[in-house]
Amino acid sequence: MLDKRISKIKLLVAISLIAFGAIGRIILKDIPNVETVMVASLLAGSLLGGAYTVIVPLSIVALTDIYIGNDLILIFTWSAWAMIGFFGWLVRKKRGYSYKFILSLTGMGIAASLFFYLYTNFGVWLLWDMYPHNFAGLVQCYIMALPFLRNNLVSDFILIPSISALLLFILKHQIDLSKLVTISLRIKETLGNIGFKSYNNPSSHSKK
């Protein structure tokens, strides 16, 4: 029963992360590279793990791209978000309701943003003729994208610790509640068994 409850909690958290990431991405779409997909992806990987590591980020971008639109670069952006979920998965063993986990997740978010910057801008250089297809053109592409990286990093420093702290606070109380429910059910089951035996044990009647 507890396993089913944990599965339901994970599903609820996954749906909440998808909703938060999608709504945030649409609201912030006019501010380049300031988005909520990063923190949602990292939290999915670190707190939920398993298939949610990929399902959450890909669900967010798939749903929002219907509204925002996309082009051939989605080959790189979608695969980048799928991989960023694993950045969160790497700190899963440190998860807990402490500032250390939040700092670890924020640090992993910085690393993930650097990866996203290098990977997706390589895609920009590769797919289009905006820059010469040589080393100098690749360097120029990265230089021109530095303002977008700055926005990414600023949003990481603000959104990852604040949203992570809020979600962990909510989950902490949810987990405490589940423990209380489990203990109550076990006590009820134990009392029920004792009552059943006292009224149905033939030896208790033979002694009277």
**In the chain, domain spans:** 2-197
Distance CA 71, CA 50 (A): 29
Average pLDDT, stretch 176-193? 54
Between the alpha carbon of residue 24 and those of residues 7, 72, 102, 155, 160, the distances in Å are: 25, 23, 20, 12, 13
pLDDT per residue as tens digits for the range 134-171: 999 999 999 999 999 999 999 999 999 999 988 888 77
More confident site: 53 or 196: 53
Average pLDDT, stretch 25-40? 91
Distance CA 192, CA 195 (A): 5
DSSP-assigned states of every residue in 46-70: III-TTHHHHHHHHHHHHHHHHH--
Distance CA 49, CA 89 (A): 6
Map residue 145 onto helix, strand or coil: coil
For the beta carbon of residue 28, count every other beta carbon within 10 angstroms.
Answer: 16
Cβ atoms of residues 92 and 45 within 8 Å? yes
Please give the model's pTM, rounded to 2 decimal places.
0.79
